[in-house]
Structure 1
Amino acid sequence: MKVDVYKRPDTNGKYSYLAVPQGRPIPEEATAVDWETAEHNIDLDPDNQSIDGMSADDALAQISAKGYAISSVKSHAGSSSRA
């Protein structure tokens, strides 16, 4: 599945990330936040590395359940973004 990834500043210079299926708008419940584009057309595949602190399995499960995936600073504290 291809996704678009957005980011927003969080605490201690970290970011939270939002992944939505490619071409879909940011969900209404998340539009009150100032999301910036991080990356477009990312291949979300369980065999690939994590996407900005979200494991592919977790992101796919969240997208299946609610149509988007969102990371938490707690879930990626100390991790770095994709290279």
Structure 2
Amino acid sequence: MQLDIYRRPEPEHKLSFMAVPAGQPIPQEVDNVDWKLVATATELDVEAAHLVEYAIDDPGPQIREKGYAITSVTHQLLDGS
């Protein structure tokens, strides 16, 4: 599935990611947060158990349930920049 990937900074120099089906708007319940688009139409296997590069667990079920998949608070990545 093609996904648009968004990133936002978190406390302690960590990052969260959100994956939304390509071309779809950010769902209303999360659009008030400071998300930055970092990749468009990225082909990813949403049926994988984990999207390693974005630290997103169970992306398929998340997208089906909420319309997007997001990094768990327990898996936020350190900002390497």
* Paired position in structure 2 for 1:54: 56
**TM-score scaled to structure 1, two decimals?**
0.78
The number of residues matched between the two structures is: 77
- RMSD over aligned CA atoms reads 2.3
- Structure 2: stretches of 5+ with no match in the other structure: none
Give the C-alpha shift of residue 76 in structure 1. Answer: 3.8
Q: How does 1:36-75 map to 2 (within 5 A)?
A: 36-45=36-45, 46=48, 50-55=52-57, 58-75=58-75
AA at the equivalent of 1:43: E
- Which stretches of structure 1, 4 residues or longer, exceed 4 Å deviation after superposition? none
Decide which structure has greater strand share.
2
* 1:23 is the counterpart of 2:9: no
What CA distance in whole angstroms lies between the structure 1 residues aligned with 2:51 and 2:69? 16
**TM-score scaled to structure 2, two decimals?**
0.80
What CA distance in whole angstroms lies between the structure 1 residues aligned with 2:59 and 2:36? 19
